[in-house]
Homo-oligomer: A and B are copies of this chain.
């Protein structure tokens, strides 16, 4: 089952995890309004590292902060996944043709997609059976230049609006911090890990505390079919992802566990 845009101007839902004022979101929205009707439903603050989290302990408010032709903007006191859920279930008059999340300030390649609110939102779009794309630029700075990233984002968005995506799949697109970009590669998620995860300090009351930090390590540096490799060579990486977490190959091996 392919899910495609309906006839006419597509309805595009946009969110992110850096909050409604982030430069990556603004750059993305400016481009998308040339392609369709855009509704932004994004967090009112930064929700980095929120993964696929949902808000269960307080209610959500959605405030419309802008409305003009082809662009409506809401801010929500919730996570990126909350934003997608609330948009599709409550705020939008019809199901969107596409969910685009980003452009994130910072990488979501390899295993980082598991921690990423940007990719959480794209995954939630797929769970809602809407073609969905997560976009990230490998530059954490607030003033990052998204101009080249937007050119590639547009090419991917146009393809997905045209072709749809199979149900259960979504795209994780990362853009390296090089200029000019060399092109785009369709690749798999590299196997990696985070190391040196914490800084340990002592507070004024003598108690030890820990700040999360860390450094990414590519565990398969010799593989040339991964997102990490493509990015290292100056290419945009596109990883098709799936909602099914099952390790299908392991099922027959674990049959002896049955009782």
Contacts and interface: CB of A to CB of B under 8 A. Distances in A.
Interface of A: 46, 48-57, 59-62, 81-82, 85-86, 89-90, 111, 113-115, 120, 123, 127-129, 152, 155-156, 159, 166, 168-169, 172, 183-189, 191, 193-194, 196-198, 200-201, 207-212, 236, 238-248, 250-251, 254-259
**Interface of A, helix, strand, loop or mixed by DSSP:** mixed
Q: How many copies does the complex hold?
A: 2
Contacts of A187: 251
B257 A159 contact: yes
19 contacts: A52-B52, A56-B212, A59-B211, A60-B198, A60-B212, A61-B209, A89-B197, A156-B257, A159-B256, A166-B250, A168-B247, A183-B258, A184-B257, A187-B251, A188-B244, A240-B246, A241-B247, A242-B246, A242-B250
A84 to B, nearest CB: 10
B60 A56 contact: no
